[in-house]
Protein backbone atom coordinates (compact mmCIF):
# COMPACT_ATOMS: atom_id res chain seq x y z
CA UNK A 1 0.00 0.00 0.00
CA UNK A 2 2.88 2.36 0.77
CA UNK A 3 4.35 1.87 -2.69
CA UNK A 4 0.99 2.57 -4.32
CA UNK A 5 0.67 5.67 -2.16
CA UNK A 6 4.18 6.80 -3.14
CA UNK A 7 3.28 6.57 -6.81
CA UNK A 8 -0.32 7.77 -6.82
CA UNK A 9 -0.88 9.50 -3.47
CA UNK A 10 -0.94 12.95 -5.03
CA UNK A 11 -4.03 11.87 -6.99
CA UNK A 12 -6.06 11.23 -3.84
CA UNK A 13 -8.23 13.83 -2.18
CA UNK A 14 -6.59 15.77 0.63
CA UNK A 15 -8.50 13.85 3.34
CA UNK A 16 -7.74 10.49 1.74
CA UNK A 17 -4.05 11.38 1.49
CA UNK A 18 -3.97 12.60 5.09
CA UNK A 19 -5.62 9.40 6.33
CA UNK A 20 -3.22 7.26 4.32
CA UNK A 21 -0.15 9.15 5.50
CA UNK A 22 -1.21 8.80 9.12
CA UNK A 23 -2.32 5.17 8.87
CA UNK A 24 0.44 3.69 6.73
CA UNK A 25 3.24 6.21 7.14
CA UNK A 26 2.94 7.03 10.83
CA UNK A 27 1.05 3.92 12.01
CA UNK A 28 -1.77 5.87 13.65
CA UNK A 29 -4.83 3.96 14.81
CA UNK A 30 -8.20 4.76 13.27
CA UNK A 31 -9.30 6.60 16.41
CA UNK A 32 -6.07 8.64 16.47
CA UNK A 33 -6.60 9.68 12.87
CA UNK A 34 -10.21 10.58 13.57
CA UNK A 35 -9.19 12.69 16.55
CA UNK A 36 -6.35 14.39 14.67
CA UNK A 37 -8.53 15.24 11.65
CA UNK A 38 -11.62 15.95 13.74
CA UNK A 39 -13.75 13.45 11.86
CA UNK A 40 -15.55 10.27 12.91
CA UNK A 41 -13.77 6.91 12.92
CA UNK A 42 -16.26 5.74 10.29
CA UNK A 43 -15.22 8.65 8.07
CA UNK A 44 -11.60 7.52 8.43
CA UNK A 45 -12.59 4.00 7.35
CA UNK A 46 -14.49 5.44 4.38
CA UNK A 47 -11.56 7.67 3.32
CA UNK A 48 -9.14 4.74 3.58
CA UNK A 49 -11.47 2.43 1.64
CA UNK A 50 -12.09 4.94 -1.14
CA UNK A 51 -8.40 5.79 -1.22
CA UNK A 52 -7.41 2.13 -1.46
CA UNK A 53 -9.89 1.59 -4.28
CA UNK A 54 -8.52 4.60 -6.13
CA UNK A 55 -4.88 3.57 -5.72
CA UNK A 56 -5.62 0.05 -6.93
CA UNK A 57 -7.60 1.39 -9.89
CA UNK A 58 -4.74 3.71 -10.89
CA UNK A 59 -2.26 0.83 -10.70
CA UNK A 60 -4.55 -1.45 -12.70
CA UNK A 61 -4.66 1.07 -15.55
CA UNK A 62 -1.17 2.60 -15.40
CA UNK A 63 0.94 -0.24 -13.93
CA UNK A 64 3.64 2.20 -12.78
CA UNK A 65 4.44 0.17 -9.66
CA UNK A 66 4.64 -3.07 -11.63
CA UNK A 67 6.94 -1.48 -14.21
CA UNK A 68 9.09 -0.01 -11.45
CA UNK A 69 9.43 -3.39 -9.74
CA UNK A 70 10.16 -5.14 -13.05
CA UNK A 71 12.91 -2.62 -13.85
CA UNK A 72 14.39 -3.02 -10.39
CA UNK A 73 14.60 -6.81 -10.86
CA UNK A 74 16.27 -6.35 -14.26
CA UNK A 75 18.75 -3.91 -12.75
CA UNK A 76 19.54 -6.28 -9.88
CA UNK A 77 20.04 -9.22 -12.27
CA UNK A 78 22.25 -7.09 -14.50
CA UNK A 79 24.27 -6.04 -11.47
CA UNK A 80 24.85 -9.70 -10.60
CA UNK A 81 26.10 -10.37 -14.11
CA UNK A 82 28.38 -7.36 -13.91
CA UNK A 83 29.80 -8.60 -10.64
CA UNK A 84 30.77 -11.78 -12.47
CA UNK A 85 32.32 -9.73 -15.28
CA UNK A 86 34.53 -7.92 -12.80
CA UNK A 87 36.21 -11.25 -12.12
CA UNK A 88 37.61 -11.12 -15.67
CA UNK A 89 40.60 -8.71 -15.77
CA UNK A 90 39.90 -7.80 -19.40
CA UNK A 91 36.41 -6.46 -18.67
CA UNK A 92 36.77 -4.90 -15.21
CA UNK A 93 36.63 -1.22 -16.26
CA UNK A 94 33.62 -1.69 -18.52
CA UNK A 95 31.81 -3.71 -15.86
CA UNK A 96 32.53 -1.08 -13.19
CA UNK A 97 31.20 1.68 -15.43
CA UNK A 98 28.03 -0.23 -16.24
CA UNK A 99 27.51 -1.19 -12.60
CA UNK A 100 27.80 2.46 -11.54
CA UNK A 101 25.19 3.47 -14.13
CA UNK A 102 22.80 0.74 -12.97
CA UNK A 103 23.25 1.74 -9.34
CA UNK A 104 22.32 5.30 -10.25
CA UNK A 105 19.17 4.07 -12.03
CA UNK A 106 18.02 2.05 -9.03
CA UNK A 107 18.38 5.09 -6.77
CA UNK A 108 15.91 7.16 -8.82
What's the pTM value of the predicted model, to 2 decimals? 0.74
pLDDT above 80: residue 105: no
What is the 3-class SS of the chain, one letter each residue?
A: CHHHHHHHHHHCCHHHHHHHHHHHHCCCCHHHHHHHHCCCHHHHHHHHHHHHHHHHHHHHHHCHHHHHHHHHHHHHHHHHHHHHHCCCHHHHHHHHHHHHHHHHHHHC
pLDDT above 90: residue 75: no
pLDDT above 90: residue 76: no
The CATH number covering residue 45 comes to: 1.10.10.10
Same domain, 54 and 83: no
Question: Which residue range(s) make up the domain with 57?
Answer: 2-62
Same domain, 13 and 50: yes
Same domain, 6 and 58: yes
- Please count the structural domains in the chain: 2
The predicted-structure confidence for 13-71, as pLDDT tens digits, reads as follows 999 999 999 999 999 999 999 999 999 999 999 999 999 999 999 999 999 999 999 88
Same domain, 95 and 56: no
Same domain, 38 and 71: no
pLDDT above 70: residue 108: no
Same domain, 74 and 87: yes
Amino acid sequence: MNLLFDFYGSLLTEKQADCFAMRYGQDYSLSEIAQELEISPQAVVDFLKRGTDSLERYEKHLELVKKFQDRRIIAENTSIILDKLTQNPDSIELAKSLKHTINELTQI
